[in-house]
Structure formats: structure tokens, C-alpha cells
Structure 1
Amino acid sequence: MKKAFAFYLLALTLLTACTFNPDVQMPGESYIQGEWQQDSVTMQKQLVSYSLYNLKFNCDSFFVSIKTISKINAGADSCTKSGSWTEYAKGVYEQRNDTLHVRGLFCNANYSYKNPTGCFRSGIYEERFKVSKIADSVLQFSPMSSVISFNARLINRTTCTPKPL
């Protein structure tokens, strides 16, 4: 009797512990849906290098372009294009309290995955931002990997229409 009960308990545990992933996108956070543009960095004229972000959020997915401007040449000129280059990443995000966690892969501008032998970073892109609402159309992003926060203004509001995966 004890063995039968243990077997049924084990079977019930396994059935309730495993769940299938949803077959459609999750809705994500409604306040962040759309395209957000960073226009400048505090004291950017005094900085040796800085990055400007363009973030797009659609349901639970994100796409980011990171334009870096540098006054120093740290690599091959075909990559750095005389001190200015752009990197792209796409993936999914989740928010817990005031922290936005984005995780994905570096990609090309057309959303195709990036060849790891090309210029700049490839592979996993992961960042956590503390997000604060400054106004209805302005958010402040504070990257946990940097001391420089940035404001991004809303340039295009969208609504989530979940797509099949």
C-alpha cells in the first residue's frame, strides 16, 4: 500500500511540476510597449566614449540598437567606422518591481543572428535596468552594469498583439 501511494504521489508531483511553454507571446508590460529613443548623454562632449540606446518593446520581446561614439580608435577601422558604430540585440524581457531584465542575443540590424566572427560583441546580450517613470513619455533607465543613467523618450507607442511562437 505504501509503495502504491508513493508511486501515485511521485506521478502527481511530476505532472504538476512540468508545464509546457505557452504557444503565443506573453503580453509584457503595457507602459513600456513601443519605441524609446535616447537623444543624449549627460556631459557627452567631455566623455571619451558613450552609447546611445534605441529600445523597442513588443509584448514580451525587445530589440535594442546601441550606437557607440568613441574618440579613441580601439580596433580595426572597418569595424569602428572612424569612431562610430552600432550594435543590435533582440530577445525577451521581464520586469520585477522596478527592475527590467532583458536577455537575448546580439544580432544584425535586420534581426538575423550575428555571425560570431564579425565585428564587436556576439552571443548573449543581458542587462538589468532600474526603470523610473519621469513623465508619460519619458523613462529613466539605470543600467546595473554602469553608473550612467539615461532618459529615453517615447517616439512610437504600440500595443501588444501576441503572436504565435
Structure 2
Amino acid sequence: MPKRNIIYLFSFVVLLVTACKFNPNMQKPGENYLQGEWRQDTSVLQKKLVDYSLYNLRFNCDSFFVSIKTFSKANAGADSCTKNGQWTEYAKGVYQQSNDTLHVRGLFCNANYTYKEPTGCYRSGVYEEYFKVANKGDSTVQFNPTSSTIAIKAHLIKRNTCNPKPL
């Protein structure tokens, strides 16, 4: 076998071995200060807007579940999805924090955590958001979404501890 072919083969094997990695078989512990359920309160500013959303976030180890309740004063016509200007969307997935940035990525789902089909009302598919985390207190945290100018000021409803589970 020519020397050139051996070098190509060796390079390919090294690339293959270093490019592939197995997924972890256990949940990661996540951020201690986030563990639990956080609820956003309505602000006076939000009530003046045409539409706004309120977040309820739950963190367990490296996983999150979010419900986003949206209120709209805009006339959506005969749309059966908006239910008099109020509706709730759900998403679940995993999160990572790097310095002051919290990255959540998952999928839109139904209220019972099951996968949401792409048909029907509201958004479906990938849910992804970046938040700048500020003002961390014992029972308060402020999430500043990079996709919005309205901060999510949340207070702790229930604290929990992470008990990593096998995946």
C-alpha cells in the first residue's frame, strides 16, 4: 500500500474517532440557583401593551419546562385558537449557562409534556431562547431575553434539588 494511502487512512480514522462522542448516560446537575419553579408577575408596563406574555419556568437538573401565557388586546377575528385574547404555549428541553447567559433549547409540547404535532394552534417545533441573567437573589431572578426588551422578573414558587436520572 503506498505511503500516501496510509496517511489518508490514518487521517480519516483519527478524524472519525475524535469527531464522534457518546451522549452522557446521566442528566447533568444544572445550576443550583435555578432548581425549582419560577413565576413571572405581571408588571404595570405589560398591562399597557397590546400583547404580552407571562412565563412560568421549572428547572430540574439540566432540564426545563416553560409555560408561556400570552394576553392580546388585538382583534384576531374568528380565530378559535386565541380564546378571547388569551392562550398558553408549552416547551421543554435542556439548558446551559455560560457566565451570565442562559441558553434554553427544546421543543414545543403539549401541557402534559408530550410532543406537539406541527399542526394546530400556535407555535411548534424548536423552542430556543437566550437570556441574560441578572439580579439573582435567594428567591428572585431576572431573565432578560435577547429577543425582547421586556425583562422577565420571576420569583421562586417552589425550590427543588437535582437528583440526576439516567437518560
State whether TM-score is above 0.5: yes
The corresponding residue for 2:149 is 147
Answer with 101-110 or 68-77: which moved more. 68-77
Q: Percent identity?
A: 67
Q: Please state if 1:123 is matched with 2:136.
A: no
Map 1:10-25 onto structure 2 (within 5 A). 11-25=13-27
Equivalent residues in 2 for 1:38-49, closer than 5 Å: 38-49=40-51
In the alignment of these two chains, the number of paired residues is 165
Distance 1:27 1:103, change over 3 A: same
Structure 1 runs (4+) deviating above 3 angstroms are 1-14
Equivalent residue letter for 1:80 = T
Structure 1 unaligned blocks of 5 or more: none
Q: Counterpart of 1:19 in structure 2: which amino acid? A: K
Which SS does the other structure have where 1:129 is aligned? strand
What code does the residue aligned with 2:134 have? S
Q: Is the deviation greater in 37-46 or in 81-90?
A: 37-46
Q: TM-score, normalised by structure 2?
A: 0.89
In structure 2, the gaps of 5 or more residues are none
What's the offset of the Cα at 1:73?
Answer: 2.4
- Alignment counterpart, residue 66 of structure 1, candidates 44, 53, 68: 68
When structure 1 is superposed on structure 2, of 101-110 and 4-13 the one drifting more is 4-13
Q: Deviations over 1:26-61 (max 9, x none)?
A: 111111111000011341231111100000011111
- 1:88 and 2:90 are equivalent in the alignment: yes
Deviation at 1:129, TM superposition (A): 0.4
Deviations 1:56-113 (A, max 9, x none): 0111111000000111122544211101110000111111110001111111100011
1: CA distance, partners of 2:30 / 2:156: 17
- Report the equivalent of 1:97: 99
C-alpha distance in 2 between matches for 1:120 and 1:16 = 41
Letter of the structure 2 residue corresponding to residue 105 of structure 1: L
Q: What amino acid does structure 2 have at the position aligned with 1:85? A: W
Q: Could you say if the C-alpha distance between residues 117 and 142 of structure 1 is closer, same or farther in structure 2, counting changes exceeding 3 Å?
A: same
Deviating more after overlay: 130-139 vs 148-157: 130-139
Instruction: Please name the residue that 1:113 is paired with.
Output: 115
The 2-side partners of 1:37 and 1:84 are apart by: 17
Q: Secondary structure at the match of 2:80?
A: helix
- In the alignment, the residues of structure 2 paired with residue 116 and residue 13 of structure 1 have an alpha-carbon distance, to the nearest angstrom, of 37
